[in-house]
Protein backbone atom coordinates (compact mmCIF):
# COMPACT_ATOMS: atom_id res chain seq x y z
CA UNK A 1 0.00 0.00 0.00
CA UNK A 2 1.64 3.20 -1.17
CA UNK A 3 -0.32 5.60 1.00
CA UNK A 4 -2.51 5.01 4.06
CA UNK A 5 -5.11 7.58 2.97
CA UNK A 6 -7.43 7.15 0.02
CA UNK A 7 -7.88 10.11 -2.34
CA UNK A 8 -10.90 12.32 -1.76
CA UNK A 9 -13.38 12.20 -4.66
CA UNK A 10 -13.15 15.38 -6.71
CA UNK A 11 -16.83 15.61 -7.64
CA UNK A 12 -19.66 16.99 -5.49
CA UNK A 13 -17.39 17.60 -2.51
CA UNK A 14 -19.80 19.96 -0.78
CA UNK A 15 -22.65 17.47 -0.97
CA UNK A 16 -20.40 14.63 0.14
CA UNK A 17 -19.14 16.58 3.13
CA UNK A 18 -22.60 17.75 4.18
CA UNK A 19 -24.07 14.27 3.79
CA UNK A 20 -21.23 12.74 5.78
CA UNK A 21 -21.61 15.27 8.60
CA UNK A 22 -25.40 14.89 8.81
CA UNK A 23 -25.11 11.09 8.69
CA UNK A 24 -22.54 10.88 11.48
CA UNK A 25 -24.43 13.28 13.75
CA UNK A 26 -27.64 11.35 13.15
CA UNK A 27 -25.79 8.09 13.81
CA UNK A 28 -24.62 9.39 17.19
CA UNK A 29 -28.09 10.66 18.07
CA UNK A 30 -29.80 7.38 17.18
CA UNK A 31 -27.17 5.31 18.98
CA UNK A 32 -27.89 7.48 22.04
CA UNK A 33 -31.60 6.75 21.68
CA UNK A 34 -30.88 3.03 21.99
CA UNK A 35 -28.78 3.64 25.10
CA UNK A 36 -31.51 5.77 26.68
CA UNK A 37 -34.14 3.11 25.96
CA UNK A 38 -32.17 0.60 28.02
CA UNK A 39 -33.49 -2.36 26.06
CA UNK A 40 -30.29 -3.50 24.36
CA UNK A 41 -27.70 -2.11 21.95
CA UNK A 42 -25.90 -3.26 18.83
CA UNK A 43 -22.90 -5.53 19.58
CA UNK A 44 -20.19 -2.84 19.41
CA UNK A 45 -22.12 -0.44 21.62
CA UNK A 46 -22.76 -3.25 24.10
CA UNK A 47 -18.97 -3.47 24.33
CA UNK A 48 -18.59 0.31 24.67
CA UNK A 49 -21.26 0.40 27.37
CA UNK A 50 -19.67 -2.52 29.22
CA UNK A 51 -16.28 -0.81 29.19
CA UNK A 52 -17.91 2.39 30.43
CA UNK A 53 -19.62 0.64 33.31
CA UNK A 54 -16.49 -1.29 34.27
CA UNK A 55 -13.74 1.30 33.85
CA UNK A 56 -15.55 4.63 33.73
CA UNK A 57 -15.51 7.24 30.94
CA UNK A 58 -18.47 7.75 28.62
CA UNK A 59 -19.83 5.27 26.11
CA UNK A 60 -18.96 7.65 23.29
CA UNK A 61 -15.43 8.05 24.64
CA UNK A 62 -14.98 4.29 24.55
CA UNK A 63 -16.36 4.22 21.01
CA UNK A 64 -13.55 6.59 20.03
CA UNK A 65 -10.89 4.70 21.98
CA UNK A 66 -11.87 1.31 20.54
CA UNK A 67 -11.75 2.79 17.03
CA UNK A 68 -8.01 3.39 17.40
CA UNK A 69 -6.82 -0.25 17.76
CA UNK A 70 -9.38 -1.29 15.14
CA UNK A 71 -7.86 1.18 12.69
CA UNK A 72 -4.38 -0.13 13.51
CA UNK A 73 -5.58 -3.53 12.32
CA UNK A 74 -6.34 -1.96 8.93
CA UNK A 75 -2.63 -1.62 8.18
CA UNK A 76 -1.75 -5.31 7.60
CA UNK A 77 -5.04 -5.69 5.71
CA UNK A 78 -4.04 -2.85 3.35
CA UNK A 79 -7.18 -0.87 3.99
CA UNK A 80 -6.94 2.82 3.18
CA UNK A 81 -8.37 5.48 5.46
CA UNK A 82 -10.91 7.92 4.12
CA UNK A 83 -11.97 11.29 5.47
CA UNK A 84 -15.22 9.66 6.51
CA UNK A 85 -13.34 6.93 8.37
CA UNK A 86 -11.52 9.42 10.57
CA UNK A 87 -14.61 11.59 11.07
CA UNK A 88 -16.64 8.51 11.98
CA UNK A 89 -14.11 7.39 14.59
CA UNK A 90 -14.26 10.76 16.36
CA UNK A 91 -17.59 12.48 15.73
CA UNK A 92 -20.03 9.66 16.52
CA UNK A 93 -18.53 9.13 19.97
CA UNK A 94 -18.61 12.85 20.75
CA UNK A 95 -22.28 13.09 19.77
CA UNK A 96 -23.15 10.07 21.91
CA UNK A 97 -21.51 11.53 25.00
CA UNK A 98 -23.11 14.94 24.46
CA UNK A 99 -26.57 13.43 23.96
CA UNK A 100 -26.30 11.21 27.04
CA UNK A 101 -25.18 14.18 29.13
CA UNK A 102 -28.24 16.19 28.08
CA UNK A 103 -31.00 13.57 28.06
CA UNK A 104 -32.39 11.28 30.75
CA UNK A 105 -33.72 7.74 30.21
CA UNK A 106 -37.52 7.54 30.11
CA UNK A 107 -39.44 5.17 32.38
CA UNK A 108 -42.65 4.67 30.42
CA UNK A 109 -42.59 1.44 28.37
CA UNK A 110 -44.10 3.18 25.32
CA UNK A 111 -41.36 5.83 25.39
CA UNK A 112 -38.61 3.24 25.65
CA UNK A 113 -40.14 1.23 22.82
CA UNK A 114 -40.41 4.35 20.67
CA UNK A 115 -36.76 5.14 21.28
CA UNK A 116 -35.73 1.63 20.21
CA UNK A 117 -37.77 1.61 17.01
CA UNK A 118 -36.82 5.18 16.14
CA UNK A 119 -33.19 4.50 17.00
CA UNK A 120 -32.93 1.45 14.75
CA UNK A 121 -34.69 3.09 11.79
CA UNK A 122 -32.80 6.34 12.24
CA UNK A 123 -29.54 4.43 12.52
CA UNK A 124 -30.25 2.78 9.20
CA UNK A 125 -30.91 6.15 7.56
CA UNK A 126 -27.75 7.59 9.13
CA UNK A 127 -25.75 4.68 7.78
CA UNK A 128 -27.11 5.27 4.29
CA UNK A 129 -26.12 8.94 4.53
CA UNK A 130 -22.55 8.54 5.69
CA UNK A 131 -21.75 5.45 3.65
CA UNK A 132 -23.47 6.94 0.61
CA UNK A 133 -21.21 9.98 0.83
CA UNK A 134 -18.41 7.76 -0.49
CA UNK A 135 -15.73 9.17 1.81
CA UNK A 136 -14.74 5.93 3.48
CA UNK A 137 -16.29 3.24 5.71
CA UNK A 138 -16.30 3.25 9.49
CA UNK A 139 -13.43 1.62 11.35
CA UNK A 140 -15.32 -1.53 12.29
CA UNK A 141 -16.90 -2.00 8.87
CA UNK A 142 -13.52 -1.45 7.22
CA UNK A 143 -12.00 -4.17 9.38
CA UNK A 144 -14.63 -6.65 8.19
CA UNK A 145 -14.11 -5.54 4.58
CA UNK A 146 -10.36 -6.03 4.86
CA UNK A 147 -10.63 -9.52 6.33
CA UNK A 148 -13.29 -10.56 3.80
CA UNK A 149 -11.11 -9.23 0.96
CA UNK A 150 -8.50 -11.80 1.97
CA UNK A 151 -10.79 -14.52 0.67
CA UNK A 152 -13.02 -15.07 3.69
CA UNK A 153 -16.80 -15.04 3.66
CA UNK A 154 -18.24 -11.79 5.02
CA UNK A 155 -20.86 -13.85 6.83
CA UNK A 156 -18.15 -15.89 8.57
CA UNK A 157 -16.19 -12.74 9.39
CA UNK A 158 -19.20 -11.03 10.93
CA UNK A 159 -20.39 -14.10 12.84
CA UNK A 160 -16.89 -14.38 14.31
CA UNK A 161 -16.25 -10.75 15.23
CA UNK A 162 -19.68 -9.55 16.33
CA UNK A 163 -20.64 -12.38 18.73
CA UNK A 164 -17.18 -12.10 20.30
CA UNK A 165 -17.65 -8.35 20.75
CA UNK A 166 -21.20 -8.86 22.08
CA UNK A 167 -20.26 -11.53 24.61
CA UNK A 168 -17.30 -9.48 25.83
CA UNK A 169 -19.56 -6.46 26.23
CA UNK A 170 -22.20 -8.42 28.15
CA UNK A 171 -19.57 -9.87 30.49
CA UNK A 172 -18.41 -6.31 31.18
CA UNK A 173 -21.94 -5.20 32.01
CA UNK A 174 -23.29 -4.01 28.66
CA UNK A 175 -27.00 -4.32 27.95
CA UNK A 176 -28.24 -7.16 25.75
CA UNK A 177 -31.98 -7.25 25.11
CA UNK A 178 -34.83 -6.92 22.66
CA UNK A 179 -33.18 -3.84 21.19
CA UNK A 180 -30.12 -5.93 20.31
CA UNK A 181 -32.28 -8.52 18.57
CA UNK A 182 -34.35 -5.91 16.74
CA UNK A 183 -31.20 -4.15 15.58
CA UNK A 184 -29.68 -7.39 14.30
CA UNK A 185 -32.85 -8.30 12.39
CA UNK A 186 -33.71 -4.88 10.99
CA UNK A 187 -30.48 -3.01 10.26
CA UNK A 188 -29.55 -5.18 7.27
CA UNK A 189 -32.85 -4.75 5.39
CA UNK A 190 -32.96 -1.03 6.22
CA UNK A 191 -29.44 -0.31 4.99
CA UNK A 192 -30.02 -2.51 1.96
CA UNK A 193 -32.49 0.20 0.94
CA UNK A 194 -30.90 3.36 2.36
CA UNK A 195 -27.34 2.90 1.10
CA UNK A 196 -28.25 2.64 -2.61
CA UNK A 197 -30.95 5.30 -2.22
CA UNK A 198 -28.56 7.82 -0.66
CA UNK A 199 -25.38 6.86 -2.50
CA UNK A 200 -23.67 9.61 -4.49
CA UNK A 201 -21.90 6.85 -6.43
CA UNK A 202 -24.87 4.61 -7.32
CA UNK A 203 -22.87 2.25 -9.52
CA UNK A 204 -20.66 1.07 -6.70
CA UNK A 205 -20.99 0.21 -3.04
CA UNK A 206 -19.90 3.42 -1.35
CA UNK A 207 -18.93 1.50 1.75
CA UNK A 208 -16.47 -0.62 -0.23
CA UNK A 209 -15.18 2.03 -2.64
CA UNK A 210 -12.15 2.74 -0.48
CA UNK A 211 -10.87 -0.81 -0.66
CA UNK A 212 -7.75 -1.64 -2.58
CA UNK A 213 -8.73 -3.95 -5.38
CA UNK A 214 -11.40 -5.98 -3.62
CA UNK A 215 -15.00 -6.47 -4.64
CA UNK A 216 -17.86 -4.80 -2.75
CA UNK A 217 -19.20 -6.80 0.16
CA UNK A 218 -22.39 -6.52 2.23
CA UNK A 219 -22.41 -3.55 4.53
CA UNK A 220 -22.51 -3.35 8.27
CA UNK A 221 -22.67 0.00 10.06
CA UNK A 222 -19.47 1.57 11.39
Q: Are 103 and 70 in contact (CB under 8 A)?
A: no
CA angle (157, 80, 185) in 5-degree steps = 35
Q: For residue range 153-201, what is the model confidence (pLDDT) as tens digits?
A: 877 888 888 899 999 999 999 999 999 999 999 998 998 899 899 998 7
Q: In this structure, what are the phi and psi dihedrals at residue 81, rounded to the nearest 5 degrees?
A: -75, 140
Nearest alpha carbon to residue 220 among 160, 131, 153: 131
Q: For residue range 89-109, what is the model confidence (pLDDT) as tens digits?
A: 999 999 999 999 999 999 999
Any idea where the domains of the chain sit in the sequence? 14-198
Nearest alpha carbon to residue 87 among 73, 71, 98: 71
Amino acid sequence: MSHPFAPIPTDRRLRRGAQLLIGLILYGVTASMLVLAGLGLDPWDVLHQGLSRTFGLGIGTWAILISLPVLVLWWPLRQRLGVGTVANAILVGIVIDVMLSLARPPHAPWARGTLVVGGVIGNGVATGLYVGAGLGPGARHGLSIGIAARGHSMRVVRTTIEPTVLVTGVLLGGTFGIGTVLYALAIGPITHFTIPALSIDPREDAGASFQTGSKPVPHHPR
